[in-house]
């Protein structure tokens, strides 16, 4: 897939439409879903089902999550509030409509969803054990921001309508914020998703990747994770069996009343786990 990086010199005075087709569709869908989730008041359920939950995404075969997580945003009563969806949609509108007019609706949508889905999958790889849902269109929007900066590096933008900054410098600043966010304390923001969206966007623009290689890498990483998790489960099972054998031997010698509270608790938990595993089989 090829993406045009810059307009012709004669198009320097070109002005984008207020709303292009793809931008209109994406923003409308995001706001419709946001209103629905807000009215329903069931964000916990929605985010578990349609957000990207790394530790259940594959184990429970919720394979739609790397796509659907892009359309859900933080509720208005959260610490982030409505700014989550407003900033994402503003970024999509500001940077996306000019790209769509340059590339066309179909190519723009492909780029948007590849960066969004791809950044979700990379987030999964780095946060496999996390049970916290990842939500929001930020991965795709950061990809769009990167494409805008690469396509129009000298375009002058105004932060808050006052502070002038060239688009490429804005990309560098936003990328730096995401990078240093990774190094800092957890703040409830998925910085790895932001950086991934930029990296995938850059790879798409430069055509330095093959889809088959990406899929192979993801499949390899997933299989390695599943094998490691199975080995960990087997090791825990062996430890439990060893502890149970020791406790049973003690019961044989001194009776159940001779067990300590800790040993009784271990025996109880082991019996529950064995019973659960037996039911599963």
| Kind plus residue range of the DSSP H or E element containing 165 | strand 163-166
Q: Describe the crossing of helices 105-126 and 21-40 by its angle, rounded to 10 degrees.
A: 50
pLDDT tens per residue, range 86-112: 989 988 998 899 999 999 999 999 999
More confident residue, 60 or 258: 60
| CA angle (108 as vertex; 113, 216 as ends), nearest 5 | 40
Checking if the pLDDT of 16 tops 80, the result is no
> pLDDT, tens digit, for every residue of 29-64?
999 999 999 999 888 899 999 999 998 888 888 999
Question: Residue 181 — pLDDT band, cuts 50, 70, 90?
Answer: low
Domain residue limits, the chain: 9-209, 226-280
pLDDT at residue 11 tops 60: no
Q: What predicted TM-score, i.e. pTM, was given to this entire model? A: 0.68
What is the longest distance spanned by two Cα atoms in the chain? 94
CATH architecture of structural domain 9-209? Up-down Bundle (1.20)
Do residues 104 and 2 make contact, with C-beta atoms less than 8 angstroms apart?
no
């Amino acid at each position: 897939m090829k993406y045009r990086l810059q307009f012709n010199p004669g198009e320097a005075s070109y002005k984008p439409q207020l709303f292009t087709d793809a931008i209109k569709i994406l923003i409308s869908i995001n706001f419709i879903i946001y209103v629905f989730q807000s009215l329903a008041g069931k964000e916990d359920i929605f985010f578990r089902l349609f957000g990207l939950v790394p530790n259940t995404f594959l184990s429970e075969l919720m394979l739609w999550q790397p796509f659907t997580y892009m359309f859900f945003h933080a509720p208005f009563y959260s610490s982030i509030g409505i700014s989550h969806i407003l900033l994402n949609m503003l970024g999509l509108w500001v940077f996306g409509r000019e790209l769509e007019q340059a590339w066309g609706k179909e190519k723009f949508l492909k780029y948007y969803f590849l960066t969004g889905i791809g950044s979700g999958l990379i987030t999964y790889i780095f946060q496999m054990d996390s049970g916290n849902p990842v939500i929001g269109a930020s991965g795709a929007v950061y990809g769009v921001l990167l494409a805008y900066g690469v396509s129009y590096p000298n375009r002058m933008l105004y932060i808050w309508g006052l502070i002038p900054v060239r688009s490429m410098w804005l990309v560098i600043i936003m990328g730096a914020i995401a990078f240093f966010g990774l190094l800092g304390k957890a703040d409830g923001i998925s910085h790895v998703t932001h950086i991934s969206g930029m990296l995938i966007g850059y790879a798409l623009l430069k055509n330095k990747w093959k889809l088959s290689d990406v899929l192979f890498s993801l499949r390899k990483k997933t299989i390695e994770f599943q094998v490691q998790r199975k080995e960990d489960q087997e090791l825990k099972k062996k430890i439990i069996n060893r502890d149970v054998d020791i406790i049973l031997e003690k019961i044989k010698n001194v009776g159940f009343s001779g067990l300590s509270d800790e040993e009784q608790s271990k025996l109880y938990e082991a019996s529950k786990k064995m019973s659960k595993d037996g039911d599963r089989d």
